[in-house]
Amino acid sequence: MEVAVQPIETLVVVDDRERLAHALRLARGFALFFVRCNVPAYRAELVAHLKAQLARPVVEVDLEGEPDVYPAVARAAGSSAEDAVLFVYGLEHHLPSGDPERALQTLRALNWRRAAYQRLGRPLAFWLPEYALAMVAREAPDFYDWNSGVFEIEVPQPQREALLADALALPDEAEASLPVEEKRARLRLLAGLWEEYRGESLAERQARLQVALKMARLHESLGDYSQARRLYEESLHIAEELGDRAGVARVLHNLGVLAQQQGDYGQARHLYQESLRIAEELGDRAGVAQTLHGLGNLAYLQWDYGQARHLYQESLRIAEELGDRAGVATTLHGLGNLAYLQGDHGQARHLYQESLRIKEELGDRAGVATTLHQLGNLAYLQGDHGQARHLYQESLRIKEELGDRAGVATTLHQLGMLAQDTGDYGQARQFYERAAETFRNLGARREQAAVLHNLGALAQDTGDYGQARQFYQESLRISEELGDRAGMAITTAQLALLEEAEENLERALELITRAEELFARLGSPYRELARRVRERIQRTPALESALEEHHSARLDPE
């Protein structure tokens, strides 16, 4: 959508525009200015207007793509005329919300290099959106305090509303499939609009709600879960103040998804159920279908496959009645996962391929990547390692292009398992370590625990039992903290096998019995496997002798 640009005279408060031009005309040698401009589309117009007013050269420095701030500014100053003014754009690119450590390093560097900027001997005008300007003022106070003026550029309401409509026009599914740089560009636009809509009128607050939701979803798609949660919570607060119950239900659902992704299943269920209650009261069938699917995912993750199937099928029925093809594709994928886990590989392949076909027709690249990964799992399970690797790598390529850090880590984890199975232990370790680090950074603790478990299995395969025990115990600790009984059961069983390998048979029996009990409570098919391991350990001659002594001792406590 093209947004008409209003004449520059209408874009700013007259006094600020004149103050800015006057300050730039008078500045000689070093001077530091900050120009708050939330919408870069208007910056170009203002700059053109200023150039026409100033009787001196203006050098424009764009920091986007530069590895560091100061060297880029210094190069431009060194090649400019002595009376040139430097307009510096793009500092916000060095203050990424998803990498707070990098942002802090950039801001600290502004502080300790402020004398170097002064020695450049040129007036510097940093053009920043409001959130970035606030970060500079807060985290680089020594640099900021040297300023000779802070100037604010206001966007007129008609143009602001046109930009908002453009920013909100793209559906969420399409936005999730954008390349990572386009997502970050949209986040910058939305962050600017977020700062513009600060009024208390109903229209301003509704706009702020829509912008916050868009930003939250983009951050979630990039794996920036802490930023996503902060924005969803802000959205929830606004929706509750507005009495927007449909908005409240949508945000509760999205917070449920985040809780699920980070392994907090109890909180996820609470949020989904509250969202479902409101959606049902409002007659919002699309919202009902979406949240039934989320509850189905929870049941699936906790091995309650009968409940998962029921919820998925109910979600699918509603989505089909509504003509919601994206919802149909997502739920077919979920039903494919169930078939896969229950050993019906033909049905799983059929469901995955039908889901993939719809996603490809819709241009849902994020969904395509997810289903390619699952088709890779199916090939892996059936022993077709070449096809599995091809599908994983294609899934990984798309996820990397989309900036889907959680998805990338999931596929790296699976590539690690494939490498381990084919005996390439060094490659397996590299994949696992990259996946574990990403999950740790994302706060995705359930997934982190799963990778630590597999690092333990890798150490066990290579005979490093001490390292294996350390990884298993760390994985188990996280699962226990999360209340993830499935993770606890699997890792406890693996610890039992490790103790058996080291001939610590009484400890092995204790652990496998505990795992068997957990599997039984979960209704897991692994219960039978655990029972067979327990019986094998009990039949070990050394353990039989130890157990006889143990039972005799118990009969005669004195």
Cα torsion 270, 274, 277, 281 to 10°: value is 180
CB 207 within 8 Å of CB 197:
yes
- Two structure tokens written together for 237: 């607060």
CB 46 within 8 Å of CB 60:
no
Which DSSP state fits 557? -
Which DSSP state fits 19? H
Tell me the Ramachandran region of residue 487: left when phi exceeds 0, alpha when psi lies from -120 to 50, beta otherwise: alpha
pLDDT, mean of each 10-residue run, the chain (558 residues)? 34 59 90 88 81 90 91 94 93 82 93 94 92 91 92 77 84 81 83 82 90 92 86 95 94 93 88 96 95 94 89 96 94 94 91 95 92 94 93 95 90 95 94 92 86 94 93 93 86 92 90 91 82 87 47 30
Site of tokens 């992704």: 261
In angstroms, the CA 242 to CA 205 distance is 8
Query: Residue ranges per domain, the chain?
Result: 8-156
Q: What is the pLDDT of residue 481?
A: 86
Site of tokens 């409001």: 130
Q: What is the pLDDT of residue 378?
A: 93
Instruction: Give CA 39 to chain center in angstroms.
Output: 25
Domain 8-156 CATH assignment equals 3.30.429.10: no
- Two structure tokens written together for 259: 């809780």
CB 458 within 8 Å of CB 432:
yes
* Torsion sign (Cα): 118, 124, 125, 128: negative
Question: Which amino acid is it at 373?
Answer: H
What is the total residue count of the chain?
558
Q: What is the pLDDT of residue 230?
A: 92
Whole-prediction pTM: 0.73
Buried b (16+ CB within 10 A) or exposed e, 55-85: eeebbebebeebeebeebbbebbeebeeebb
